[in-house]
Amino acid sequence: MTDPKIAARRPAVLELAAGRYAYCTCGQSAKQPFCDGAHAGSEFRPTIFELAEPATKALCQCKHTGHAPFCDGSHGRLP
């Protein structure tokens, strides 16, 4: 698999409403950290996640987290 593009070296901390979201895994989306379909033609697919209630979440933008879509601090270990 091709490595994703690093969209940013920090998480996007967002207040999200309850609902369903499509998280970008390729790093190419213009609507980071969410998918806009820029992965078309590649092996990447968005990660779908749901929130049952509103919450503040730190979403990974380096695309190297082990807990997608949530930040696990992997951006601090990138070269």
Neighbours of 57 (CB within 10 A): 17
Q: What is the pTM of this model?
A: 0.94
Residue range 45-73, pLDDT digits in tens: 999 999 999 999 999 999 999 999 999 99
- What does the domain layout of the chain look like in residue ranges? 12-77
Residue range 22-42, pLDDT digits in tens: 999 999 999 999 999 999 999
According to DSSP, residue 76 is labeled: G
**Which pair of tokens denotes residue 29?**
């989306």
Which residue, chain included where needed, has tokens 């996007």?
12
Residue 74 has phi, psi (to 5 degrees) of: -60, -25
